[in-house]
Amino acid sequence: MKHSKYSAVVVGSGIAGLYAAIKLQREVNLPQGLLIVTKSKLIESNSKYAQGGMVCVMPENKLDSTTLHIEDTIKAGAGLTDRKAAEYISQKSAQVVKELQNFGVDFDRDENNKLKFTKEAAHSVNRILHAGGDATGFCIENALVKYILTQKEVKIYEQTLAVELLKDKNNINRGIITYNYDENEYEIIETPAVIIATGGIGQIYRYTTNPDITTGDGIALAYRAGAKVRDMEFVQFHPTAFSLGENGTMFLISEAVRGEGAKLTDKFGHTFMEKYDERLELAPRDIVTRAIYNELKL
């Protein structure tokens, strides 16, 4: 079996994994180098398919504030929001956007070169940044991929699955075992630090807009090694998709379409959201989804 040593390993090459890898590489001393392990191609991820945009509270958006964003988030969370997490994400969002811009992400701008903000469900003001029109995830992922490929000291294993975390007798993490599909080969990687950024579990559902890689095995890997997992019932989903056929394949009809004024209608062309919520098509996703489900049953 192959054997190697790194100062840190990042598992997953979506936006979370690549962003973590770039930050580690810029801010931490890594004498034995950094390795990214990813089970498909570097760019393949949920991140690549994200469309509508990225929520952020930017200082130049004078109608917005972190207080308002946190309020909106808590309202949309139906009493289940972790306030500290909402505050942290909101307060850090402008800084993250600036960093992404430094890493090469171009968010869409208006004719005066000012950032463009759109609206999505449950937001009381326009605060969604987007890139490439409706290809925000692809633009961010692609920029981070390009950036990381310029960092010669970062090693990348594609087509490689992280299969097990290694611990010593004191339960301290010592490394990871990987399996490369192309070479049909396992490898033991010694490292004191593993970041697991392996995305979600969308593929457990029959109908999903998530790509095939979204099978949750990174979460299982962490769980088997003793990590605590929490809030597993919270799976992000979208109310609207375009069905491509009987085998369940579909693509997302982005939230941003309703944000820009699209209406939901029944098979007779009648709108129905007025029966369910005064925010109509811009009610939070759970409400819109239940309304659609209810209409389908009528």
Ligand X SMILES: Cc1cc2nc3c(=O)[nH]c(=O)nc-3n(C[C@H](O)[C@H](O)[C@H](O)COP(=O)(O)OP(=O)(O)OC[C@H]3O[C@@H](n4cnc5c(N)ncnc54)[C@H](O)[C@@H]3O)c2cc1C
Binding site for ligand X (CB under 6 A): 11-17, 37-40, 44-47, 49-54, 136-137, 161-162, 197-199, 209-210, 213-214, 217-218, 221, 236, 252
At 235, which amino acid appears? V
Of residues 49 and 272, the one with the C-beta less far from ligand X: 49
For the bound state, the minimum distance from the C-beta of residue 20 to ligand X, rounded and expressed in Å, comes to 9
Of residues 238 and 279, the one with the C-beta less far from ligand X: 238
Strand residue runs (E) in the chain? 2-5, 8-11, 34-37, 54-55, 117-118, 128-129, 154-157, 160-167, 173-180, 185-190, 194-196, 241-243, 250-252
Of residues 233 and 278, the one with the C-beta less far from ligand X: 233
Report the 10 Å Cβ neighbour count for 160.
22
Which tokens go with 54?
């990225």
For the bound state, the minimum distance from the C-beta of residue 291 to ligand X, rounded and expressed in Å, comes to 20
**Is there a catalytic annotation at residue 290?**
no
For the bound state, the minimum distance from the C-beta of residue 169 to ligand X, rounded and expressed in Å, comes to 25
CA–CA gap between residue 241 and residue 256 (Å, rounded):
12
Strand residue runs (E) in 127-232? 128-129, 154-157, 160-167, 173-180, 185-190, 194-196
For the bound state, the minimum distance from the C-beta of residue 186 to ligand X, rounded and expressed in Å, comes to 13
Catalytic residue among 174, 279, 285, 290: 285
Of residues 46 and 273, the one with the C-beta less far from ligand X: 46
Catalytic residue positions?
A: 285
